[in-house]
Structure 1
């Protein structure tokens, strides 16, 4: 990455940033799929009976960790977003940026300086002050490898979104400086078009400096301290995480419930049974074929999360035989995507051809997908030197995810298709946190995984998942294409959205040809809740604060 001098054309970028600064959240009533309309947030205050209120959320897996900068998975962010907060937020149902811990911000004409005015009087759960020093403390920890609280292996999301660490070539953030207790200034080495949207992402929530220093990173990862609507209470591994209401929360009137419990129930059907019996109040990972059952039950409500994801079959492009593009393309022809989507997504998904979902601007719809063709697959394998196929391992996710409802069964279905072209696969699985760690390190051959977008920007899919800089982070295919890299870096600093869109479409064409992954589906994840749950609004990024959710 190169540092550069900006022209006056960057006024377009400034205008975009200022427009985002002026956005404000909307308060819309939620209409569920069974026709019930949830009251607006201001109607919820008088809806529930007196006495402590508890919301129990059922989910398919435990959180690998609770320090948001150290994790990359949705199960962790479902919890941490209720404990810790970011400088800016997304609106409740979309990725428009609105104020968070920062009340406002200004961007310099050259796009290299961002100045944030912070909320005053905000306290961390341990009683210490949230201020500009706390913001600087967190960013110094993340960006400086010599900081004693920096992760020796780095922070994946920081690396992915901000081009490495202080001193690295291409590192975006030059410095974070305290102007006064309620003002903090970011100076960039080069312009970054999605900078504000990146800051709204869950990993960049501000932690209590006092707690980090007293506990150390390892303990903090098990006992997080933030400024959010709920305070951490207890974590029973692979069972429950319990949070309690923060009585001193700066957003007065919230949260609406006194206790928030995240309960692990690995099997989707068992989770629905727990919901029906009243053991839990809200669940994700609903089997798509159970949607009609939920809709017909007057005691339940079906809720659909807006789609912003990709479920894919990935290849470790550094390992033989998957270092050969013809082998990868052969398998792409052997994956019957329409049949998979029909069998496992049951009307709540669509076949995918790009790693970028069609709900994100920059999606290249001109690309014509490969059709299921076993003869073509066999031909390509023969050309690659494998006329009789080969044996390999096939890693399958152990938990349901929003982008892939049942990784085990989907892997088994793909296994049968591949067998027809001579590719014999041994399905391998393991505990979820281990699965993520090992795929990050590149121990896998062929694998299932996916991604739920974090900020509504193409950069968060294409650069995060497929840029060479992110090998060892979220680029689990370990794909390395210099032309794609240059296009994605150029797109990050481009002045207009039109210019960025053109670059992203070019990158998608190259990625489609190289086949580092086989995009399988974009899902519309189904959730279910008790009819007593009101004001729950699922966010397209896959997790959300539950501060406004109430129980009637």
Structure 2
């Protein structure tokens, strides 16, 4: 990899310091010898939930990103098995001393799946498309874009801020220059976000990609998003059979790098965890993700390859302050003291799970070891509720079904344990189960129907803004925290601090204040997720970011 210059080198060094995962797998087979692995055949992987669609910018969940990552590429990516950055569609990059102007030197000879050329103009078309997106429904669905770039040319969505993005220019075919309005600590890591994958401009225009319609609590997306996704990746879209719950990806014979070893990848959506396990044992699928903690040893004993990823994630209990009683810090603290998180770790967490005291792992810059901790203390919880006059209040506690997340291996079991803890100190809990896509996420993130919810995050890159800033950097419907302007300002200041020592100190103070002053949610645990494949599957490199690519995989 050609390293970036100036302050980009600092960001790369920070990412390299994480270097979690299999260091022996750090070299991508795309750039080297295939090692004589068998080519051809089909790899069937069991997904835990349906994707929302295949337009990267409108998505933010792993079940959608799994197929998207095989079809699309980003300017920068992560070296397999680590959180270290490497060139992807951009071979190298640099920025000016202020961190505002980013110049990308693009890979030559790359074609989109529709045969059109990838070049500087295509990069700018994508960034300008996102910046100029119209319609409140479209903007509200661009969650990652809003977290990174703040706002749009014309803000129509609730919560959008002044835009960070300024412009993109293509001085020649092999260069793209992106100008920001000010420095942001997320870069260059954010350029590796799957949501910021580069799509074919011709396909985006042909299939009306920008059309997003809202119908009540649901959204409708374009033909591009559902039927004609076009990227530059090693696999092309082969179809989404919704009746069979199968997504087919075909080997891209014109891929710019080393071609995928497989002819085909099928992602078979199997929502029930036990059914996924049974199909793995029956050989109808060759891989599953996020096995139940209790199943890992048994699967290993049966000869399956259980690959543990490092825990670069967080599960949290979100609190919605739209409920007036939950605006009272004492009530939110009572919720935190009521939870026996250590027991939850021991009974429901995968091996190696740790109680979380902050909203990011301790390997990330800005982690503060001296934050206020909420040890299990039901008596303290009852006392706070009495002081706040909130004894016996009812909490509508939402949790998702038909999904298993890296940080949340069994949502219903986690909900049950947390709900029991809350009821034991005097809360009344009304559990509301909703399907992950087309239900839970909309109810929580778009409409704020809940009082409590469980959700989490797997880091996209090694920066505090990607954790704390993503959750609490601006007002969000899911937390009902619009009044916490001092929290937003503190996070913005920390994220804009260029000096490394100053940035570390600023984020440490943010973490202290989140725990003691604001408490918009309660951190629950950091859990190491696993991925399981049959013994005839070779070449799969597990990612701490759950960013697995299947072009190196062979079967047989």
Aligned pair partner of 2:385 in 381, 385, 392: 381
Aligned pair partner of 1:46 in 33, 36, 48: 36
Aligned pair partner of 1:465 in 471, 474, 477: 471
1:466–1:479 Cα contact (<8 Å) kept: no
* Alpha-carbon distance in structure 2 between the residues aligned to 1:405 and 1:495: 37
Aligned pair partner of 1:392 in 381, 391, 395: 395
- Is residue 229 from structure 1 mapped to residue 234 from structure 2 by the alignment? yes
Q: CA RMSD in A?
A: 2.6
Change (3 A) 1:47 1:97: closer
Aligned pair partner of 2:339 in 335, 339, 343: 335
SS at match of 1:294: helix
- Cα displacement (A) at 1:392: 2.2
Matched ranges for 1:266-285 at <5 A: 266-285=271-290
- Cα displacement (A) at 1:462: 0.9
Aligned pair partner of 1:304 in 301, 304, 308: 308
Change (3 A) 1:440 1:478: farther
The match for 1:35 is none
The Cα offsets for residues 410-430 of structure 1, whole Å up to 9 and x where unpaired, read as: 111122121112211111111
- Is residue 446 from structure 1 mapped to residue 438 from structure 2 by the alignment? no
- Cα displacement (A) at 1:131: 0.9
The Cα offsets for residues 71-111 of structure 1, whole Å up to 9 and x where unpaired, read as: 11111111101001001111112222111101111212232
Matched ranges for 1:23-62 at <5 A: 29=24, 44-48=34-38, 52-62=40-50
Change (3 A) 1:153 1:448: closer
* Alpha-carbon distance in structure 2 between the residues aligned to 1:46 and 1:13: 40
* Alpha-carbon distance in structure 1 between the residues aligned to 2:327 and 2:356: 23
1:88–1:200 Cα contact (<8 Å) kept: yes
The Cα offsets for residues 159-218 of structure 1, whole Å up to 9 and x where unpaired, read as: 111121236664222110111111111112111232211001110000111111111121
2:25–2:81 Cα contact (<8 Å) kept: no
Report the TM-score when normalising by structure 1: 0.90
Unaligned runs of 5+ in 1: 1-10, 32-38
* Alpha-carbon distance in structure 2 between the residues aligned to 1:363 and 1:400: 27
SS at match of 2:226: coil
The Cα offsets for residues 366-389 of structure 1, whole Å up to 9 and x where unpaired, read as: 2242111111111000011123x2
The match for 1:175 is 167
The Cα offsets for residues 335-364 of structure 1, whole Å up to 9 and x where unpaired, read as: 110111111114241111111122322211
Matched ranges for 1:200-239 at <5 A: 200-217=192-209, 218-223=222-227, 224-237=229-242, 239=245
SS at match of 2:188: helix
The Cα offsets for residues 110-142 of structure 1, whole Å up to 9 and x where unpaired, read as: 322111111111111111111111111111110
Q: How many residues align?
A: 526
The match for 1:134 is 122
- Cα displacement (A) at 1:241: 0.8
* Alpha-carbon distance in structure 1 between the residues aligned to 2:261 and 2:378: 55
- Cα displacement (A) at 1:18: 7.9
Aligned pair partner of 1:187 in 144, 166, 179: 179
1:311–1:451 Cα contact (<8 Å) kept: yes
* Alpha-carbon distance in structure 2 between the residues aligned to 1:356 and 1:95: 15
SS at match of 1:66: coil
Change (3 A) 1:20 1:178: farther
* Alpha-carbon distance in structure 2 between the residues aligned to 1:503 and 1:377: 30
The match for 2:216 is none
Q: Is 275-284 or 478-487 further displaced after alignment?
A: 478-487
Matched ranges for 1:366-377 at <5 A: 366-377=370-381
Unaligned runs of 5+ in 2: 156-160, 210-221
* Alpha-carbon distance in structure 2 between the residues aligned to 1:349 and 1:17: 28
Change (3 A) 1:363 1:262: same
The match for 1:4 is none
